[in-house]
Homo-oligomer: A and B are copies of this chain.
Amino acid sequence: MAREAGVSLETASRVLNESYEVKEGTGAKVHEAMSRMGYVPNELARGLKARKSVAIGMIMKNLSDPFAASAIKAAQEVARANGYILILASSGGYADLERSEIENLIGRQVDGLLISPIGSPRSNFNDIIPLGLPVVTLDQPIRDGDYDSVMINNRLSAKGAVQHLLNHGYHRIVAVATRPYLHTSSERIAGYREAMKRAVLEPRICLVESEELLTAQWLSENLFYRHSPDAMICMNWVCTMLTLRGMKQVRKRLGTDLAFLSFDDFELAGMLDPSLSAVRQPADALGAQAARLLFDRIKGKDKNKRRSIVLPTELILRESCGCNHSS
């Protein structure tokens, strides 16, 4: 450390923290010594003393889907702007991994946690969150949890999307979703049900437990053969990708063979032919907002009751739903 360097002092700390006054010359000498020997303060030791780590943790279900990636990017930027680092973890959608990753992060003394919870009944981490540790959930609130949350209204968004398909005159609308036990999935499906019920139509729901089961063959058997749909809605990005791939394999064409709507928009949706209509989640806004809420708590600006922010989704109407937009 700088103490033995050039000058003599544990006052190094003072100049670093700009606490108290330091005589001109001394300060300069310290700075000089620090840069000469490339001194970098040990944040671990600082954190140990200050009882905080200047780090936040973020846990997502899948780090690589574009929605998560945007949220992560936005959250990291906010963290950096606040002088914090972002520790990234993944639950993979499994409750036990979620739990152990949270415990791990707590052991690292993170000052706050951003979690996109699994949301299954088994997913409950209230008991392991230390009192006073700020937590913000993304995507969904947690049962009995008194945390801030930032999400979209999955149910209404799905309902609105299905409503739109209904307005086009489709009757045999199939909803396709993976991992129905996830909160987002179940809410979106609920929205679908509501729309269908209101139209007095039979709900047609194709669920698959895990992504790898959503194959072309599965589509043929469970979707096309059983329902002969005139429209379908996929309930998340992965689902849309896999369905699109499967449909190509079985030579079903969007638009001509059936209408299509995707929950989750992506860069290329507008470039497909027909272009894909989609429900767009403001992924980066979700990440940024969540991080901002978290820092409001961490810095003690926000002492109020829990806040739940619901960001609006946007129904992007392109061609695949039957619209004729040419944007």
The residues of A with any CB-CB pair to B shorter than 8 Å are 38, 40-45, 47-48, 53, 55, 62-66, 68-70, 72-73, 76-77, 80, 85-90, 101, 103-109, 127-128, 241, 244-245, 248, 266-268, 270-273, 284
Docked-complex contact B272 and A42, CB < 8 angstroms: no
The 16 listed contacts between A and B (C-beta, < 8 Å) are: A40-B107, A44-B47, A44-B48, A64-B66, A64-B69, A64-B72, A73-B90, A77-B90, A80-B90, A85-B89, A86-B87, A86-B88, A87-B87, A245-B270, A268-B272, A271-B272
Distance in angstroms from A61 CB to nearest chain B CB is: 11
Q: Could you say which residues of chain B place their CB within 8 Å of the CB of A90?
A: 73, 76-77, 80
Distance in angstroms from A263 CB to nearest chain B CB is: 16
Give the CA-CA distance A270 to B246 in the complex, in Å.
12
Give the CA-CA distance A160 to B103 in the complex, in Å.
48
The one of B70, B89, B108, B248 that contacts A270, using a Cβ cutoff of 8 Å: B248
Docked-complex contact A44 and B109, CB < 8 angstroms: yes
Task: Please name the residue on chain B nearest to A57 by beta carbon.
Answer: B85
Q: Could you say which residues of chain B place their CB within 8 Å of the CB of A66?
A: 64, 66, 69
Q: Which 7 A-B pairs have the closest CB atoms?
A: A63-B73, A69-B69, A64-B73, A273-B273, A64-B69, A88-B88, A268-B268
Task: Please name the residue on chain B nearest to A103 by beta carbon.
Answer: B40
Docked-complex contact B272 and A272, CB < 8 angstroms: yes
Task: Please name the residue on chain B nearest to A273 by beta carbon.
Answer: B273
Task: Please name the residue on chain B nearest to A248 by beta carbon.
Answer: B271
Tell me which of A41, A43, A105, A106 has the highest count of chain B C-beta atoms within 10 A of its own C-beta: A43
Distance in angstroms from A131 CB to nearest chain B CB is: 11
Q: Could you say which residues of chain B place their CB within 8 Å of the CB of A73?
A: 62-64, 90
Give the CA-CA distance A267 to B241 in the complex, in Å.
7
Task: Please name the residue on chain B nearest to A238 by beta carbon.
Answer: B267
Q: Could you say which residues of chain B place their CB within 8 Å of the CB of A268?
A: 241, 244, 266, 268, 272
Give the CA-CA distance A53 to B73 in the complex, in Å.
24
Q: A64-B69, A89-B80, A107-B40 given as contacts; is B270 within 8 A of A272 (CB)?
A: no
Distance in angstroms from A135 CB to nearest chain B CB is: 15
Q: Could you say which residues of chain B place their CB within 8 Å of the CB of A45?
A: 48
Docked-complex contact A40 and B106, CB < 8 angstroms: yes
Distance in angstroms from A142 CB to nearest chain B CB is: 18
Docked-complex contact B44 and A72, CB < 8 angstroms: no
Give the CA-CA distance A245 to B44 in the complex, in Å.
47
Task: Kindly list 9 other residue pairs between chains A and B, CB separation below 8 angstroms, not including A241-B267, A273-B273.
Answer: A41-B107, A44-B48, A62-B73, A66-B66, A85-B105, A87-B87, A88-B88, A266-B268, A268-B272
